[in-house]
Amino acid sequence: MNKDFKIYLIDDDPIEVLKLERVIKTLNFNCEFEHFFSGNDAISKLRDDYKNRIIVLLDLNMYKLSGIEILKIIKKEISLKKIPVVILSTSNNIKDISECYKFGAAGYLVKPLRYEDYLLKIQCLLRYWEINEFA
Amino acid sequence: MTKNEVIQENIRLKDEIKNLRLIQYNLIQNNESKLVNNIINKIFDKFDLYQISWHLAKTIADFLNTDDCVIYEVIESENCLKQIAANGHKISDSGEIINKLQLNIGEGICGHVAKTGVAEIVNNTLEDNRYVSDINFNMSELTVPIILDGHIIGVIDSEHPNKNHFRPEQLTIIENISKIIALKIKNAIDIRDKEKFKNKVLKSEQRLASLIQNLDTALLLEDENRKIIFTNEKFCQIFNIPVSPTLLKGADCTTAAEESKHLFTNPNEFIARIDNLLTRKEKVVGDELIMVNGLSLERDYIPIFDNQEYQGHLWAYKDTTLQKNYNKNIELQKNKYSNIINNMNLGLLEVDNDDIILMANKSFLEMSGYEEFELINKKASELFLGEKEKLQLFNQNKKREKGISDSYELKVKTKLGAQRHWLISGAPNYNIRGEIIGSIGVHLDISDFKLLQSQKEKLLNKIKKSNEELQDYAYVVSHDLKSPLRNINALLSWLKSDNDILLDKTSLEYFKQLDLTVEKMENLINGILHHSSIRENVSDNNITDVQKLINELIPSLHIPSNIEVKIKKTLPSVKGDAVKLEQVFLNLINNAVEHMDKPVGFIEVDYKEHPTEYEFSISDNGHGIEKEDFNKIFKMFYSHRAKSNNSGIGLSMVKKILSIYDSKIELESKLGEGTTFYFKLKK
């Protein structure tokens, strides 16, 4: 098992950041966690950091750069392309979902209402990437 | 016998020979004169060419001891010889010449003689390549021309089957005969030709007479003394004369006008005019007369002069009643149509092939703002069109040249400079010969209609846009509302778990209620999302099998075991999108389940067939709905029972989906007994 990967959360809602932090702590998951309130910050950090193994969790509905725009930028840049991007969104709209996969998303999670459900979903997600190989 | 006796005998023999010669000579002389006598006797009192020739041929044949003698007439104008008489086997039983030979001058021995005028005997026709065989092949031939005043007018030709049949002295005799009869023959030919000509004249006169008799124009020819030379049927008919026109010949016409003046509507003028014409003796054509019986006549008066000398005159009356009525009818029709054209609400414009205006009706003048004189002889496109429209019209006119009619829209400028839209229906205009001489266009001003149309389009676009905005708005807002809810839930959950030991029973109950409230709030938001996502789309024209849809739907509904869902009969297929129709049945069945208050419940799905649609019904034996609430239940967020966790959006969605299919939902209900919902879907 390979636990040494980083999780970048891009979401402008501070409570979402708290939620993910708490989940990782609760699950006692051994990984680095960074969060960004804006897409620009995240992308410039990724450009420095791309050689590491990183999973990006991306919210769609954001104030400045939208999630889909950030996804497009990541999937266009030759060095960033390889990074798996998993979407975290409130929308279960079929259009949004297919759009994200079309532009290279590695997964799509709908944020549930209950925190307990959220915890379960994130646990699955982390387990999944734990058993996957990526660079 | 003594010497003397021999001498005597010689002398006697000599005398005898002398006598014999004399006899022979006399015999020949005798024959000749007999022949001449015969011929003269036979043809002396005959003048008919054919009779003369027949006798000639027979007598000569007899004289020459043969059957075959033919008389030819030489016709110089046609450069040929024609048989006019023949003897012997050349005559059929009915006396006609068999194989009536016609030779060109120069052709055959006869033709040769007709050319040279020199009589000939051919003793062996086999050695003469000019010979032309008639019916039988003959070995010898005797041919003599008939000459008068240096002109060869005929040929006498006799043949015999034996060689060397004819003797030179016979040739001489026939030549003499030829000279004698030449004048007689010529005379006969002249008589015959005159007869022929007379016949021709007679025939043509007869034809003319019958033509005049049956002419549709009444004719009356009078001589200088006003005696009738001839008149015809039509004349008698028009003037009510009850006798045959031939009987009128010679009748005096001086009182005729007076006698028939009562036939005319204006008798005095009729008389005066005739007197006037007769005095002036000048040709007058086309006098119009109207008769009491309604006929219209046209009269011509033609005086006839021979070398300046007055010979009489011709009256011609033509019945023009039909033509006049016809012209009158045409005039009436023309007035009728020009009235229609002038008063119709459509602009009419007639142009020639160069687009020059020939005619415009009142409506067109009103439409265009021009006066008639400002349009006539002007080029229509120059007056009304911009460059772009000229090109459009040019293409239309090309179609017109091919004889195609059609309609098109054109942007035009009126006299006042206003832009108008005209709908023009153009058709080619033809002359009597079927040639295209221009086109006629019917014009309708559709500017107001166009304006309305574009306003309507704008409005529709606006509605569509604001509808979309509204849908987007509902969607965005719902999502934005969901985030804080999620956060509240997370925070509540942390508060509870982090302070687990500190919380008493009441506080824990509050936390539970907080959770429920948050959940209900989320249900409401989901309802809005769902509702806003119902839109019309292409799959609405799909055919959906309702039975199959229900079969798949029911197991997923988790219906409590005390409620039975019954499908009364196999459900049909209808027009509609499967996802939407599923929502309809799902919400109605869920609604029934939700409001079931009986220990044993049932839900029945059934349908009735109509010509173009099916009427479905979903009944339950549940709580029932009060009549005053019938309308409320379809409103968004209306929930029958306040404590329910239901979003209250289900029936409102059913209503919205059915409205997409031009259908509506109806219900029957009795409080405490149950409810039945009805709706129709197209086949």
- Are both B64 and B91 inside the same structural domain? yes
Residue among A15, A22, A93 minimizing CB distance to B487: A15
Residue among B475, B486, B491 minimizing CB distance to A111: B486
Q: What is the mean pLDDT of residues B330-352?
A: 87
pLDDT computed for residue B676 by the predictor: 93
The ipTM value here is 0.80
In a domain, B207, yes or no: no
What is the domain extent for residue B502?
Answer: 452-529
Chain A: give the shortest CA distance to residue B518, in Å.
9
Last residue of a domain, one of B417, B445, B473: B445
Alpha carbon distance B33, B31 (integer Å): 6
* Tens of pLDDT, residues B134-159: 767 888 999 999 998 888 999 999 98
- Are both B59 and B176 inside the same structural domain? yes
* Chain A residues inside the 8 Å CB shell of B486: 90, 111-113, 118
pLDDT computed for residue A1 by the predictor: 42
Please give the tally of structural domains in chain B: 5
- Are both B655 and B634 inside the same structural domain? yes
Q: Which residue has the higher pLDDT, B530 or B548?
A: B548
Whether residue A21 has pLDDT greater than 50: yes
* Chain B residues inside the 8 Å CB shell of A60: none
Q: Convert B1-29 to b/e letters by CB count within 10 Å (16 or more is b).
A: eeeeeeeeeeeeeeeeeeeeeeeeeeeee
- Are both B351 and B383 inside the same structural domain? yes
Chain B: give the shortest CA distance to residue A60, in Å.
11
Q: Considering only alpha carbons, which residue of chain A is nearest residue B515? A: A114
B38 touches chain A (CB under 8 A): no
Instruction: Check if the beta carbon of residue B518 is closer than 8 Å to that of residue B489.
Output: yes
Alpha carbon distance B386, B466 (integer Å): 38
Q: pLDDT above 90 covers what percent of chain A?
A: 59
B496 touches chain A (CB under 8 A): no
Residue among B482, B493, B519 minimizing CB distance to A115: B493
- Are both B30 and B137 inside the same structural domain? yes
* Tens of pLDDT, residues B480-510: 788 888 899 999 999 998 888 888 888 888 8
Alpha carbon distance B171, B142 (integer Å): 7
In a domain, B357, yes or no: yes
- Are both B599 and B517 inside the same structural domain? no
- Are both B483 and B515 inside the same structural domain? yes
Domain boundaries, chain A: 34-116
pLDDT category of residue A120 using cuts at 50, 70 and 90: very high
pLDDT computed for residue A118 by the predictor: 93
In a domain, B330, yes or no: no
Residue among A16, A61, A113 minimizing CB distance to B489: A113
* Tens of pLDDT, residues B200-233: 999 988 888 788 777 888 888 888 888 888 888 8
Q: pLDDT above 70 covers what percent of chain B?
A: 94
CB atoms within 10 A of CB B37: 10
* Tens of pLDDT, residues B552-592: 888 888 888 899 999 989 999 999 888 888 889 988 998 88
- Are both B220 and B152 inside the same structural domain? no
Smallest CA-to-CA distance from A39 within A7, A74, A84 is with: A74
- Are both B470 and B599 inside the same structural domain? no
Alpha carbon distance B329, B393 (integer Å): 37
Whether residue A31 has pLDDT greater than 60: yes
Chain B: give the shortest CA distance to residue A76, in Å.
28
Instruction: Check if the beta carbon of residue B682 is closer than 8 Å to that of residue B610.
Output: no
* Chain B residues inside the 8 Å CB shell of A61: 479-480, 483
* Chain B residues inside the 8 Å CB shell of A22: 494
pLDDT computed for residue B616 by the predictor: 94
Residue B250 region, left (φ>0) first, then alpha (ψ -120 to 50), else beta?
left
Residue of B479, B485, B486, B523 to mutate for A, most A C-beta atoms under 10 A:
B486
CATH of domain A34-116: 3.40.50.2300
If you average pLDDT over every residue of chain A, what do you get? 89
Q: What is the mean pLDDT of residues A111-125?
A: 92
pLDDT computed for residue B93 by the predictor: 60
Alpha carbon distance B400, B409 (integer Å): 15
